[in-house]
Structure 1
């Protein structure tokens, strides 16, 4: 299954290298990709968001400002960056490990622990990723992330 491959070869090693891993984080990142793009789109249809996690350029810029104050995180992020310095937002389109790291760092800055269960993660995604003004819904997250219930890691 593609989700299992993503977990094993992209998400888990990226999160572990960042020191931001664990089962809940893995499932939240995979759930985010499933609801945001279905892991089928590299650019938002009719919008500015980029990559499989659909990160908007303004959000990316905000994350870069955060990273300016966190050289410890930048050092852990460095292996996933192609080229020198912090890359342009376009790297989210073609660099899957970097995009995964940016998605995780986005959540890392948010308060509260990531819930262990899918329903809790759906609410967490809506509050901290899609936001109150976003068109996404908790129900849509649960529908899209259903494949994770087969592969939820203990």
Structure 2
């Protein structure tokens, strides 16, 4: 997939609809997709995570509980859902805008501002998305997110 198309057609409109946009947030979400799957895989090879952002069903359920307590935020995400009510986790596989919203909401709940550079975002991803026990590394994120620094950053 072309990163600029993902940015302009999926990521930016989704984050803007949530009121959680900006280039820094866009780059973190795009970097997450690049390191997790390269926007090429929809299912974790040996694990439960699904979608381009590799969200685990348990994480998804936790985000839904978070949304239940925030009707204003639920109202902002509702237009991104296919159907009515909060969807089954499988929508993360085929609904790119909804999957992007869930990825952004995952980070939204974490402390601290999103760093404005790739190295800082790599560390933020490792701490808040991949976790200390995850197999991903800061170096892998930086390598995978290289397209964001090679002409497609903004």
2:87 is equivalent to residue 87 of structure 1: yes
2:153 is equivalent to residue 152 of structure 1: yes
User: Who is 1:70 aligned against?
Assistant: 70
Question: TM-score of the superposition, structure 2-length normalised?
Answer: 0.98
Matches of 1:47 and 1:35, distance apart in 2: 16
Matches of 1:129 and 1:70, distance apart in 2: 22
User: Who is 1:131 aligned against?
Assistant: 131
Matches of 2:49 and 2:94, distance apart in 1: 13
Q: Which has the higher mean CA deviation after the structures are superposed, 135-144 or 1-10? A: 1-10
2:104 is equivalent to residue 97 of structure 1: no
Displacement over 3 Å in runs of 4+: none
SS at match of 2:115: coil
In the TM superposition, residue 46 of structure 1 has moved relative to its aligned partner by 1.5
User: Who is 2:120 aligned against?
Assistant: 120
Matches of 2:72 and 2:127, distance apart in 1: 27
Matches of 2:71 and 2:153, distance apart in 1: 32
User: Who is 2:33 aligned against?
Assistant: 33
Matches of 2:106 and 2:133, distance apart in 1: 17
In the TM superposition, residue 133 of structure 1 has moved relative to its aligned partner by 0.7
In the TM superposition, residue 104 of structure 1 has moved relative to its aligned partner by 0.2
- Segments of 5+ residues of structure 1 without an aligned counterpart are none
Mapping of residues 101-112 of structure 1, within 5 Å? 101-112=101-112
In the TM superposition, residue 84 of structure 1 has moved relative to its aligned partner by 1.1
- Segments of 5+ residues of structure 2 without an aligned counterpart are none
Matches of 2:126 and 2:78, distance apart in 1: 29
Question: How many residues in Structure 1 have an aligned counterpart in Structure 2?
Answer: 153
CA RMSD in angstroms, aligned pairs only:
0.8
